[in-house]
Amino acid sequence: MNILQSISRPIQRNLFESDFRQMLQPQGLLFSAINTQTLSETSLTAWNWTKQAGLGLIGALALFMLGGAVYQELSTRIDAKNNPPMGELIDIGGYKMHLYTTGSGGPAVVLDPGLGCNALGWQLVQPEIAKFTKVVSFDRPGHGWSDESPLERTSQNIVTELHTALHKANIPGPYILVGHSFGGLNARLFASLYPNEVLGVVLVDSAHENMVEKIPMPQINHTLMMLASRLGIIRLCTHLPTYRKSVAVFPEQVQSQLLSQQRTTKFMRTVLQESSHIKTSCNQLKATGGHLGDKPLTIITAVKQISEKGSGMTREQIDAVYIPFQALQKDLLTKSSRSKQVFAEESDHMITHNQPQIIVEAVKEMIEVLDA
């Protein structure tokens, strides 16, 4: 504005003074034309830069997603080739279920894993039980070496699949069922649906049919978790020291097998499906009553609480889970007229990792009671 005024002063005597001054005003035609052209060029340059940056970002993101998906698929195939099934694959109706049987004699002990766990999670328990009787661990469909199932991941379908697999594998009952966490819910439902095929039950820090009403359930973003799995992000996370520490109690071969199975998209999809149907599974057990009559029942309960530092939870959040869970463990004593509770003093929820021997002793004692 000041520069334009200084230029205009020598020309003020000119006959065209008023018109020229008018042109030089900020709202005048000349200024307006110059300003419009400058703004247009600036806007066009900014738009072109933004467009190029946006296209570059989209391209980089697409390349990252494609690379991640290829990495996940190829790595899954390599893991499958390097880690063949350790047990037998049983056809249960167009899809196969993995059963791993060791030991001999009877009664056969069937080990039902917790949510997100499989047959390999029993590798500190199964070899010891195999020293005195036949023992079977298995991968629920969608886990480990088992195919995915076309059926919803509810306890009722899971129990039916297990029952079919045991019979097709020629492992006759009656069985002693050992269920950890979610597996405890399934074990009790199995005993309710097939009472003549069950001698007794051992529950290892077991889930309870009333837990949905009593305990805050974790909120999981299924879409985000599946995307992270498909793009190989979860696979990369399993290489972190903190993740590997969770399986460090097992022999190296088992560690490798466990990690390879937990990296698959099939595993993530199945875990999410099982967790999303947990309320239905609880209601299925409620519908049967879930009582074992006079069958022996041993309840093994973990004593150690979740660590605030390790879990990222506050003390209030931990108490909101721990206190009602302990009350539900006590309530399990009412599910049989021959029940007892044993406390795993040195273990958190993963008793199968931390105090496997206490599970072995509970099974051995139950067999002795049944033989008496």
Residue 314 and residue 232 share a domain: yes
Residue 200 located in a structural domain: yes
Q: Which residues contact 129 (CB under 8 A, 6 or more apart)?
A: 103, 109, 135, 360, 363, 364
Residue 256 located in a structural domain: yes
DSSP assignment letter at 304: P
Please name which of 334, 320, 363, 150 lies closest in space to residue 218, comparing C-alpha atoms.
320
Residue 13 and residue 123 share a domain: no
User: Count of domains in the chain?
Assistant: 2
Backbone dihedral region for residue 93 (phi beyond 0: left; psi -120 to 50: alpha; all else: beta): left
Residue 153 and residue 10 share a domain: no
pLDDT at 3: 32
Please name which of 241, 187, 153, 155 lies closest in space to residue 366, comparing C-alpha atoms.
187
Angle ∠(144,86,351) on CA atoms, nearest 5? 60
Residue 315 located in a structural domain: yes
- For residue range 58-79, what is the model confidence (pLDDT) as tens digits? 777 677 677 778 888 888 899 8
Residue 47 and residue 106 share a domain: no
Residue 72 located in a structural domain: no
Distance (Å, rounded) from C-alpha 96 to C-alpha 90? 5
Residue 77 located in a structural domain: no
DSSP string, 80-108: HHHS--SSEEEESSSSEEEEEEE--SSSP
Residue 230 and residue 128 share a domain: yes
Per-residue burial over 286-299, b if 16 or more Cβ lie within 10 Å, else e, is eeeebebeebbbbb
Distance (Å, rounded) from C-alpha 33 to C-alpha 286? 80
Residue 266 and residue 189 share a domain: yes
pLDDT at 41: 59
CATH number at residue 228: 3.40.50.1820
Range with lowest mean pLDDT among 22-31, 141-150, 291-300, 338-347: 22-31
Higher pLDDT residue, 233 or 137?
A: 137
- For residue range 317-360, what is the model confidence (pLDDT) as tens digits? 888 999 999 999 999 999 999 999 999 999 999 999 999 999 99
Residue 114 and residue 46 share a domain: no
Residue 231 and residue 138 share a domain: yes
Residue 169 and residue 135 share a domain: yes
Note whether 301 and 205 are within 8 A (CB). Answer: yes
Residue 339 and residue 202 share a domain: yes
Residue 142 located in a structural domain: yes
Residue 75 located in a structural domain: no
Residue 118 and residue 54 share a domain: no
Residue 364 and residue 329 share a domain: yes
Note whether 106 and 95 are within 8 A (CB). Answer: no
Give the residue numbers spanning the domain of 355.
Answer: 83-371
Residue 76 located in a structural domain: no
Range with lowest mean pLDDT among 107-111, 236-240, 273-277, 297-301: 236-240
For residue 129 the two structure tokens come to: 């039980």
The partner residues of 278 in beta bridges, in order of sequence, read none
Q: Please tell me whether the overall predicted TM-score, pTM, comes out greater than 0.95 for this model.
A: no
